[in-house]
Amino acid sequence: ITTHKSQGQTMQSAVMDLQGCIGAQAPYVMLSRVTSLDGVLIMRPFDDKKIMSRQSEEKRMDDARL
């Protein structure tokens, strides 16, 4: 099943290839479809930047203030 086809679905388990994802949205969609981390099987190692998001401007300003 593709990332696009999985949107709106809920799954008990899924096998994922996060390294093959393009963009930041696809990994989020894939991971958010599964009801528990116990149901996630990741096929191969992936760059952790694939699942990291940028800090909000407000958070950056708060951190700079400290």
- Tell me the two tokens of residue 43: 């096929």
Read off the pLDDT of residues 28-48 as tens digits, 9 standing for 90 and up.
Answer: 888 999 999 999 999 999 888
Q: Give me the phi and psi of 39, to 5 degrees please.
A: -95, 5
Alpha carbon 53 to its chain centroid, in Å, reads 9
CB 41 within 8 A of CB 65: no
25 pLDDT tier (thresholds 50, 70, 90): confident
pLDDT of residue 49: 80
For the record, the structure tokens of 55 come out as: 């800090």
